[in-house]
Structure 1
Amino acid sequence: MNVVTTPLEDCFVLKPEVFEDERGWFTESFNQKVFEECLGRKIKFVQDNRSFSKNGVLRGLHFQYGEYQQAKLISVEKGAIQDVCVDLRKDSSTYGLYFSIELSDSNKKQLFVPRGFAHGFLVLSNEAIVSYKCDNYYNRSAESGIIYNDLELDIPWNLKGRIPVVSEKDALWPTFQQQPFL
Structure 2
Amino acid sequence: MAEGLGHGFAAVSDTAVVTYLCDNTYTPGKAISINPLDPQLALPWPAMDDIVLSDKDRTAPTLAQTQALGVLPHYDDLHVTTPAPPPR
Alignment partner, residue 157 of structure 1: 45
Write out per-residue CA displacement over residues 114-160 of structure 1, whole angstroms, 9 at most, x where no aligned residue: 32111110001222111112111100111221101111111120024
More strand by share: 1
Write out per-residue CA displacement over residues 1-20 of structure 1, whole angstroms, 9 at most, x where no aligned residue: xxxxxxxxxxxxxxxxxxxx
Question: In structure 2, what is the Cα distance between the partners aligned to 1:124 and 1:142?
Answer: 29
When normalised by structure 2's length, the TM-score is 0.69
More helix by share: 2
In structure 1, stretches of 5+ residues that fail to align are 1-71, 73-113
Local SS of the residue matching 1:177: helix
Matched letter for residue 27 of structure 2: N
Matched letter for residue 47 of structure 2: L
Percent of counterpart pairs with the same letter? 36
CA RMSD of aligned residues (A): 1.4
The runs of at least 4 consecutive aligned structure 1 residues that moved more than 3 Å come to none
Matches of residues 128-147 of structure 1 in structure 2 within 5 Å? 128-147=16-35
When normalised by structure 1's length, the TM-score is 0.36
In the alignment, is residue 168 of structure 1 matched against residue 27 of structure 2?
no
Question: In structure 1, what is the Cα distance between the partners aligned to 2:28 and 2:3?
Answer: 16
In structure 2, stretches of 5+ residues that fail to align are 73-88
Q: How many residues align?
A: 69
Question: In structure 2, what is the Cα distance between the partners aligned to 1:157 and 1:115?
Answer: 23
Write out per-residue CA displacement over residues 64-101 of structure 1, whole angstroms, 9 at most, x where no aligned residue: xxxxxxxx2xxxxxxxxxxxxxxxxxxxxxxxxxxxxx
